[in-house]
């Protein structure tokens, strides 16, 4: 898929997707915002089905769950010190996912293209 035309409905859904990315980014400072973001992802998923935003929602949901998985693994491994490396790698990966998603969203491009 290439760039898409943005209709008024799609524009409000794109704004919501931007807010969700912002909530995930804010979770680096206040973790509860990630919970709010994932809840919104699941509640609004049907509304974006069939649009390029569906891929962004899938990207965001996967980012959340893999981030949680690696965060838990890193926390458990803190007892053997390697956990710090896992947690730092997870943070870098999360930042990459947020930036890449946000940039593609800004360009009206789907993820996984």
- For residue 2, being part of any structural domain is answered with no
The structure's pTM equals 0.89
- For residue 48, being part of any structural domain is answered with yes
- For residue 14, being part of any structural domain is answered with yes
35-43 long-range contacts, CB within 8 A, separation 24+: 37/64, 38/64, 40/16
Q: Given this model, what pLDDT does residue 4 score? A: 57
Q: Given this model, what pLDDT does residue 113 score? A: 73
Token pair belonging to 95: 């930042």
CA distances in angstroms from 94 to 36, 43, 60, 88, listed in the order given: 17, 22, 10, 10
pLDDT tens digits, 16-61? 999 999 999 999 999 999 999 999 999 999 999 999 999 999 999 9
Task: Look up the domain containing 12 and give its range.
Answer: 8-106
Query: Looking only at Cα atoms, what is the longest distance across the chain?
Result: 52
Cα gap 101→34, rounded to integer Å: 15
pLDDT tens digits, 55-99? 999 999 999 999 999 999 999 999 998 999 999 999 999 999 999
- For residue 102, being part of any structural domain is answered with yes
- For residue 111, being part of any structural domain is answered with no
Structural domain count of the chain = 1
């Amino acid at each position: 898929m290439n760039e898409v035309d943005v209709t008024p409905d799609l524009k409000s859904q794109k704004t919501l997707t931007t807010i969700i990315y912002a909530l995930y980014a804010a979770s680096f400072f206040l973790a509860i915002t990630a919970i709010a973001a994932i809840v919104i992802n699941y509640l609004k998923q049907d509304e974006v089905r069939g649009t390029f935003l569906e891929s962004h929602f899938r990207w965001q949901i996967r980012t959340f769950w893999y981030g949680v998985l690696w965060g838990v693994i890193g926390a458990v491994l803190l007892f053997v010190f390697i956990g710090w490396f896992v947690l730092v790698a997870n943070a870098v990966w999360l930042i990459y996912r947020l930036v890449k998603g946000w940039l593609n969203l800004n360009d009206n491009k789907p993820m996984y293209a």
